[in-house]
Amino acid sequence: MPDVEMTIGVAHDRTATAIKIAPLEQPPLQLVLTFDELDQLIRELGTARSKMVEGQSLPDFENEEVTISTVANARWYIKASPPAGGLLAFYHPKFGPVGFTLPRDQVIQVVNFLTERFILQPTQSAEKH
C-alpha cells in the first residue's frame, strides 16, 4: 500500500470528526463523520484488524514492550453464565463499549489471583501503631 498522511480532528462543538487522508502524489480526501458513524467505522476497522491478525501469535502481556490501552475508573458490567463462564464489559473512551468472555476455569484463575493479592495479603498501613 502507498504511504499516506492522515490527520484526524474533532469539531469544536464535538459533533463531528474530520478524517483527512493524503496519499502521496494524490489530492487529499476528507471524510466528516458523526459520532454514530465514527463508532461504526471503529467497529468495521476492528473487524478488518481481527481478520489481519488471524493465525498470528498473541502478544506476551508480561513483556514490557507490549502497549496496552488502559482505562481508569471505567463503568463496567459483569454477567455470570454458570457453568460456562462470564462476561466482563466496560466502557473504553477510545473504543466505546468493549468486553470479553472468560470460560469457567479462567474465571476461577482471576478470582484466585485477586483474592490472593487483595484479601489474603495485608496492605501496608500509613498509620503508626
pLDDT at residue 19, rounded to an integer: 97
Task: List Cβ neighbours of 38 (8 Å cut-off, separation of 6 or more).
Answer: 17
Q: Strand 85-92 vs strand 96-103: parallel, antiparallel, or unpaired?
A: antiparallel
pLDDT in tens, 24-47: 888 999 999 999 999 999 999 999
Cell of 91: 466502557
pLDDT in tens, 4-29: 899 999 999 999 999 999 988 889 99
